[in-house]
Amino acid sequence: MNPPYPASALRAKQAVLRFAPSPNGPLHRGHALSAWLNQACAQKLGGRMLLRIEDIDPVRSRPDHIAAIEETLAWLGVNYEQPVRRQSQHMAVYRDAFERLKARGLVYPCFCTRGDLEKAVVAHGPDWRRDPDGSPLYPKECHGLSLGDAEARMAEGEVPQWRLDMAKAVALAGPLTWQSFDPSTFEVTIRKADPSRWGDVVLVRKDTPTSYHLSVVVDDALQGITQVVRGMDLEASTDIHVLLQALLGLPQPLYWHHGLITGHDGKKLAKSRGSDSLAMERENGLTRERLLHDFQSARIFNALADTEDREP
């Protein structure tokens, strides 16, 4: 394993951190923890704290959810700079990044529906490979589609999603690594990346001209993000992000993937699973002090709190 960088490396330039929620539902404790840890890291490093609203979903993103995010952060005591970046207002920037990849032949159109993909995966058998999130890898049904056939289908009104040609992209980028920092020592360690395990990921969706993966790496670069603090559930996605950073010539921030808060069933909190929102908990008497006390009782929090008496 590569030796860690010295702690002084984190002082090379002003730190810039961000909390970047999607306004597709109410925030829960997991979001609050991530927001608090980002602010705490920014304070420890004498850096800046930003809020970014990742509202690329044209259906589920709602103004009332954005207002609720801002109100919840104010209640939590998380402060951030203005103006707040909203991804829905910067689609042209993501489109430009996509066009750069397209010009190099690194993406291709996919017309498959969800039903098409389910049938293809079943045809490949139960041993078909899955990505780190547990979803079947894309079986490349449209990978060999000729440019003429694709253009004809688009001319007839079919709207494709665009996928990254992972094999071609990895071959072009070469071996990749990313840097993980320890919040208790502020040392940095090199980690190997393996984006191939994700298969041909979607970079442009059918319903919006970007994707989470594409927009997040573009925004992190444009906003000068130096440290990304996010949940462990996004650690594997870092492989995709460092690949896109390499292909687009973007700077690579440092990463800390903190532990997750789980529910009574031992599973991570999630909007999609109907986890109790902070708004609901507050209606039932939750105070900011009680929430922070609960955070302080967790090893996740202590990893950062232990730096109180340290000079990073």
- Is 151 part of a structural domain of the chain? no
Helix (H, G, I), strand (E, B) or coil at 14: coil
- Is 237 part of a structural domain of the chain? yes
- Is 128 part of a structural domain of the chain? no
- Are 243 and 176 a contacting pair, CB within 8 Å? yes
- Is 112 part of a structural domain of the chain? no
Q: Which residue has the tokens 């939750």?
A: 286
Tens of pLDDT, residue by residue, the chain (312 residues): 344 444 444 555 799 999 999 999 899 999 999 999 999 999 999 999 999 999 999 999 999 999 999 999 999 999 999 999 999 999 999 999 999 999 999 999 999 998 999 998 899 888 899 999 999 999 999 999 998 999 999 999 999 999 999 999 999 999 999 999 998 888 999 999 999 999 999 999 999 999 999 999 999 999 999 999 999 999 999 999 999 999 999 999 999 999 988 766 556 655 555 568 899 999 999 999 999 888 887 666 666 654 443 333
Q: What is the amino acid identity at position 198?
A: W
- Is 155 part of a structural domain of the chain? no
**How many structural domains is the chain composed of?**
1
The range of the structural domain enclosing residue 207 comes to 7-103+171-309
- Are 47 and 36 a contacting pair, CB within 8 Å? no
β-pair partners for 17 = 49
- Is 84 part of a structural domain of the chain? yes
Q: Measured between alpha carbons, how far is 141 from 121 in angstroms, rounded to an integer?
A: 10
- Is 114 part of a structural domain of the chain? no
CATH number at residue 73: 3.40.50.620
- Is 184 part of a structural domain of the chain? yes
